[in-house]
């Protein structure tokens, strides 16, 4: 009986070691920032670790509002010498985030990761957009699928970057409160 328990423990230890060794081989994260370019070679890397490497190499402050999915997110991607902002966008594909830039140099100062995007399947929305004709009396079947797709937005007339104060003034009250708290926290540090 004692030999069986010893054998089971030995097998358990070997399985645990094999699993740890296997996981350590599969995970790979090389992130290199040169001036304003980003190179990444990632295989099942922790998004937290990748963002930490970028923060250490660039001095960008990273704030995460909702850490629920962020702390468990894994990423695999490979690219070289991509402009820093474009690389960050690529790594955060599927996330709602914002960048705060220095108004003089244009360098990114803060990256705020707000939340993981929710797909239409997750929120249970209809796959086909519907439209209601306000001229038809209530109670009749007035909904119909859109017949024409909306034209893509014209980005030629984009607004120039606004200052932090202008953005803060335009923000909804709950976001303004969050930003104000963060600014006070930054002033203390």
Q: Does residue 105 carry a pLDDT above 70?
A: yes
8 A C-beta contact, residue 162 and residue 99: no
As a whole number, mean pLDDT of residues 125-146 equals: 51
What DSSP designation does 66 have?
-
147: phi then psi, degrees, rounded to nearest 5 = -90, -30
Question: Using 50, 70 and 90 to split pLDDT, how confident is the model at 119?
Answer: low
Instruction: Please identify, in words, the CATH class of the domain defined by 23-117.
Output: alpha beta
Region 14-21: mean pLDDT is: 57
- What are the tens digits of pLDDT across the range 165-179? 787 788 888 778 888
Q: What is the dihedral of CA 75, 81, 86, 91, to 10 degrees?
A: 10
pLDDT band at 23 (very low <50, low <70, confident <90, very high): very low
Predicted pLDDT of residue 136: 58
Which residues pair with residue 77 across a beta bridge?
Answer: 42
Asked if the model's pLDDT at residue 147 lies above 50, the reply is no
Q: What are phi and psi of 178, to 5 degrees?
A: -60, -45
First and final C-alpha spacing in the chain: 61
Nearest residue to 178 (alpha-carbon basis) of 65, 102, 60: 65
Contact 38, 55 (CB under 8 A): no
């Amino acid at each position: 009986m004692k030999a069986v328990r010893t054998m089971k423990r030995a097998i358990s230890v070997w399985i645990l070691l094999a699993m740890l060794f296997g996981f350590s081989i599969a995970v790979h994260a090389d992130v290199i920032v040169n001036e304003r370019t980003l190179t990444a070679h990632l295989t099942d890397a922790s998004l937290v670790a990748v963002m930490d490497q970028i923060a250490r190499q660039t001095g960008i402050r990273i704030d995460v509002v909702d850490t629920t999915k962020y702390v468990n997110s894994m990423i695999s991607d490979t690219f070289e010498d991509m402009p820093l902002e474009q690389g960050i966008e690529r790594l955060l594909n599927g996330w709602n985030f914002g960048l705060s830039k220095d108004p003089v140099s244009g360098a990114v100062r803060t990256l705020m990761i707000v939340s993981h995007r929710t797909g239409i399947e997750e929120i249970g929305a209809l796959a086909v957009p519907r439209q209601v004709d306000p001229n038809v009396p209530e109670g009749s079947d007035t909904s119909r699928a859109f017949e024409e797709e909306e034209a893509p937005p014209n980005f030629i007339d984009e607004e120039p970057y606004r200052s932090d104060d202008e953005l803060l003034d335009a923000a909804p009250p709950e976001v303004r409160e969050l930003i104000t708290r963060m600014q006070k926290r930054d002033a203390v540090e």
